[in-house]
Amino acid sequence: MTVGRTLAEKVWDDHIVVKGTDGAPDLLYIDLHLIHEVTSPQAFDGLRMAGRPVRRPDLTIATEDHNTPTLNITKQIADPVSRIQIETLRRNCEEFGVRLHPLGDIEQGIVHVVGPQLGLTMPGITVVCGDSHTSTHGAFGAIAFGIGTSEVEHVLATQTLPLKPFKTMAVTVDGALRDGVTAKDIILAVIAKIGTGGGQGYVIEYRGSAIRALSMEGRMTICNMSIEAGARAGMVAPDQTTYDYLKGKPHAPKGEDWDAALAYWQTLPTDDDAVFDAEVLLDASELEPFVTWGTNPGQGVLLSDAIPEPESFDDPNEQASARRALEYMDLAPGTRMKDIRVDAVFMGSCTNSRIEDLRAFASVIKGKKKADGVRVMVVPGSARVRLEAEAEGIDKIVEEFGAEWRFAGCSMCLGMNPDQLAPGERCASTSNRNFEGRQGKGGRTHLVSPLVAAATAVRGTLSGPWDLEEAR
Amino acid sequence: MEKLTVVEGIAVPLERAQVDTDQIIPAEFLKRVTKTGFDDALFYAWRQDPDFVLNDPAFANPTVLIAGADFGTGSSREHAVWALRDYGFKAVISPRFGDIFRGNSGKQGLLAAQIAEDAVEKMWALIREQPGISASVDLVSKTVMLGTLTVPFQIDDYTRWRLLEGLDDIALTLRDESSITEFEKTRQSWRPLTLPAQ
Ligand code: SF4
């Protein structure tokens, strides 16, 4: 009797170069290796020291994103340390023959926005990058996961990685989302439900009618944050939405290759009789906008709720984390989320900086003025997204609103460039991590969807689009 | 990589759960292009607090870190491992590790030993009574000894073997180079290529 396989198992099996025996890992082939300036310099150094070449420059691509400024991009980078890192990447790519999209190039941008927009990310492949949010690419039905710098060196040298198979988890989201509720709210609710460690050791497959109804952008938002639930990767089975998105992209297969690829991709969805190691269910129709109050992405509630009492958690560890988090965030239990005032709104990051995210943000702020005293920054995920948005007039809407329209990059998602919160500042952010100091030393982050970010920018307090309608 | 069998030295209690890699080393330190010299960056924000455990003279020059559950979650930055290593740590003990962090540790010869949650709490209590006592983490017998306590730990067999033998991953993989070349011959033409096809 043959037992059915999951999507993840099918893709995995088709990449095994050497099957591990006696507890040894499988040697897995890597189809696509994405590089950026932060986690690669020491890997290239390792190659140089060992006298090894990059085995497959034609499966490797680099961009600059974490350190790059989002203003005055034609000027020399002011911070000398950031500049050295960027220059090091440029030298390494040149020396090892790796294609690079540098600052100023139309394909420059956040590495997880660039891969899909080039059509390099596709179903049934393996993708790695020295960045935990590589899970984003799983939205296409690829196995995509973040690796450390030693592994970056390993992939550069061998185009493979020794890996033990991940366990599989199905997260099924059925039902229709209400207006104003988005993919971001789904994933924040999933993380709050299973916890930041709940996905450890798993690749999560997102399934169900609510997932099928999402655009590729929405699916990427969900897969992006799989790592915040501790999972190595997130995946969505490819379907017509995937194929429509991919067709015609610069590196997507063409002609006979497209037909051969499509025939293969259609075999990938999980078999009906396949068994997952774990299953989680969520009803999309019950969801509302979801926001975080604490310092990890699992510490979240509905926007209409209040901050929970730390004592309400069963686990003493979680109680202690909640107390620490509230102290850091300067918030009291029982405070209504909607009463929380912010100093800044950040619209960007690999979670929510694609064209559809910018459109959603713009639809809420159009014709309005931002709240007094709130700094609002809009950072497209890539140079191409920026141009696309400008062609639609989104830059004008943003500027008339009183917000800043920036160049592409990671920006205030982690504040490696000058875009940072000041100590004590509070920010509604469409990014993925609300860790202590993530957006700048002493900064306080509330994770939100683009719609909530926009409504919050209008009112100055955490708000959803529904609040604007009620106010009218 | 050097062979690793037993790690012995002062044990530090980090009595916190969910310590993400942003806390182990903040992003500002990731701009360096070297692989060493990260000791000043370790737990940078927390070390500004004079009451933080690493600022306690009893724990000067430590070797073993004993942390709460979910240590090393979040960002993939291997700098977290380098910072721990540069500070002098050779082993980290926790009931649960972030997956990428655990993988990175194994590559760098930092022993990530998983032990039961109640054992961690007992160890913390013991160190509170005798600050500065030594722990011994034995990779051969897979046990941690601290004062009167002897506790088994878990580590996957393959990582353990590599650490014991001091083997470098890339050299190991290149033993299979002919299999990689064979595999590449079967790679379908629709799969992604980043350079224009020749
Ligand atoms: S946008 Fe943020 S999370 Fe995404 S790759 Fe950049 S720094 Fe990492």
Q: Which stretches of A130-175 are assigned E, i.e. beta strand?
A: 143-146, 160-163, 167-174
B37: closest CA of chain A, how far (Å): 13
Distance CA B85, CA B111 (A): 10
Beta A143-146 vs B149-152: how paired, if at all? unpaired
| Residue of A35, A39, A133 with the most ligand 1 atoms within 8 Å of its CB, for mutation | A133
Do A164 and B156 lie within an 8 Å CB cutoff?
yes
Interface of B with A in 15-74 (CB under 8 A): 16-18, 20, 22-23, 26-28, 30-35, 45, 68-70, 73-74
| Integer-rounded Cα radius of gyration of chain A | 22
Which residues from A are below 8 Å from B188, CB to CB?
Answer: 260-261, 264
pLDDT at B198 over 70: no
Residues ≥6 apart with Cβ < 8 Å to B66: B11, B12, B13, B14, B92, B93, B94, B120, B123, B124, B127, B135
3-state secondary structure of A100: strand
The model's confidence at residue B197, banded by pLDDT at 50, 70 and 90, is very low
Residue A433 in tokens: 């991590």
Do A42 and B35 lie within an 8 Å CB cutoff?
yes
Distance CA B104, CA B20 (A): 14
The model's confidence at residue B22, banded by pLDDT at 50, 70 and 90, is very high
Provide the 10 A C-beta neighbour count for residue A462: 25
Report whether A63 contacts A118 (CB < 8 A). no
B194: closest CA of chain A, how far (Å): 5
B40: closest CA of chain A, how far (Å): 16
Residue A277 in tokens: 């190691």
The interface predicted TM-score of the complex, written ipTM, equals 0.93
Interface of A with B in 6-65 (CB under 8 A): 17-18, 23-25, 27, 29, 31-32, 38-39, 41-42, 45, 50, 52, 55, 57-61
Angle at B67 between CA B65 and CA B72, to 5 degrees: 95
Question: What pLDDT was estimated at residue A349?
Answer: 98
| CB of A131 shorter than 6 A to ligand 1 | yes
Q: Is A160 on the interface with B (CB under 8 A)?
A: yes
Distance CA A104, CA A409 (A): 11
Q: Is B179 on the interface with A (CB under 8 A)?
A: yes
Nearest to A224 by CA among A349, A123, A120: A349
Longest dimension (CA), chain B: 68
Q: Is B193 on the interface with A (CB under 8 A)?
A: yes
In chain B, the percentage of residues whose pLDDT exceeds 70 is: 98
Residue B137 in tokens: 């983490």
What DSSP letter does each residue of A193-205 carry, written as one string? Answer: HH-TTTTTTEEEE
pLDDT tens for each residue of chain A, 472 residues long: 568 999 999 999 999 999 998 888 999 999 999 999 999 999 999 999 889 999 999 999 999 999 999 998 888 888 888 899 999 999 999 999 999 999 999 999 999 999 999 999 999 999 999 999 999 999 999 999 999 999 999 999 999 999 999 999 999 999 999 999 999 999 999 999 999 989 999 999 999 999 999 999 999 999 999 999 999 999 999 999 999 999 999 999 999 999 999 999 999 999 999 999 999 999 999 999 999 999 999 999 999 999 999 999 998 889 999 999 999 999 999 999 999 999 999 999 999 999 999 999 999 999 999 999 999 999 999 999 999 999 999 999 999 999 999 999 999 999 888 999 999 999 999 999 999 999 999 999 999 999 999 999 999 999 999 999 865 5
Q: Is A321 on the interface with B (CB under 8 A)?
A: yes
Distance CA B156, CA A451 (A): 44
Interface probe, candidates A60, A435, A444, A445, chain B, greatest B C-beta count within 10 A:
A435
Helix (H) or strand (E) holding A43: helix A41-50
| CB of A153 shorter than 6 A to ligand 1 | no
Report whether A172 contacts A208 (CB < 8 A). yes
Residue type at A13? Answer: D
Name the DSSP class of A449: -
CA of B195 to the centre of ligand 1 (A): 25
3-state secondary structure of A303: coil
